[in-house]
A and B are shown apart, each in its own frame.
Chain A
Amino acid sequence: MNNKKNYTKSILAVVIFAALIIVLGLVYNQFKPKAVKGSKEVTIEIIIPEEETKEYTLFTDADYLRQALDEEQLIEGSDSEYGFFITGVNGREADGAKEEWWCITKDGEDVFTGVDETPIQDGDKFELTLMIGF
């Protein structure tokens, strides 16, 4: 009889302990630090010929375009003596053998700075277009 009582007490103690852990988990879920959205809203359009154009809206505090694109892991590339050279956008690699390359424009106008040096402001819209032919 005593053994049964002790067994019940032990089970109850473990259940209360587990409940405390769950309650603390819920408290964390409710009050955990929320990620703060960046203050600039930037639109990125990815244009690939004969494919549907994709549009992304980024919220960032980045000063330059590369950092904003890196935050969303939208671009891949390599550093060169002329700056960062984009080789892939959103998983689509430019095929050098087919003379493919990625072109950056802002509101349809050419951008004359590299992705590293292109400043961004709230409301900016950039297009990343896969071009064919050098």
Chain B
Amino acid sequence: MKIKDVVIIGMMSAIMVAIQVAMAVLPLPNVELISLLIIVFTLVFGYKTLYIIYIFVLLEGFIYGFHLWWINYLYVWTILFIVTILFRRKSSPLFWAIVSGVYGLSFGALCSIPYFLTGGIPTGLAYWVSGIPFDIIHAISNFLVALILLRPIYKLLNILYIE
């Protein structure tokens, strides 16, 4: 791995953590930029994004504590990374806005997996259903955020990375 890549991984991880912590202060549940950043990072940096994701996840654990939600973080962002890698040739902001929106919509279902495994089907279902209003907010905000910000961030990072 080149020194440039190490620097980029460190910087992008730091940006993700800083944005997450800053947005957690806002009274807007489930409105986040992490999904957008993972999509853009994957489109620009490819597999190096996995390093960024797991440094971000580790730092989140240090900040907020290693609880059950942290287990979710070990796989939820990687799923978005895999989806993005699969469709990486797509360039339409609308396409990525819908991917990000559907991901937001399924976020609660993905996060409920540990609850299904530890508490059985009723616990998992109860966890998922009670979070649906937040998933809907997540879906709509992810869709709008990606539709508006994906192209400018992608262009900026692409120019900086290539040059």
Residues of A within 8 A of B (CB): 10, 13-14, 17, 20-21, 24-25, 27-28, 31-33
Contacts and interface: CB of A to CB of B under 8 A. Distances in A.
A31 B125 contact: yes
Contacts of A27: 129, 132
Interface residues of B, number: 18
Report whether over half of chain B's contact residues are helix, strand or loop; otherwise say mixed: helix
Residue among A14, A24, A27, A31 with most chain B CB within 10 A: A24
Residue among A10, A17, A27 with most chain B CB within 10 A: A17
Given A13-B94, A28-B133, A21 B126 contact: no
Report whether over half of chain A's contact residues are helix, strand or loop; otherwise say mixed: helix
Contacts of B98: 13-14, 17
Contacts, number: 39
6 contacts: A10-B92, A17-B143, A24-B136, A25-B136, A28-B136, A33-B126
Contacts of B125: 31
A21 B105 contact: yes
A4 B131 CA distance: 38
Interface of B: 92, 94-95, 98, 101-102, 105, 125-126, 129-130, 132-133, 135-136, 139-140, 143
Residue among B101, B132, B135, B139 with most chain A CB within 10 A: B132
A25 B132 contact: yes
A24 B130 contact: no
B74 to A, nearest CB: 25
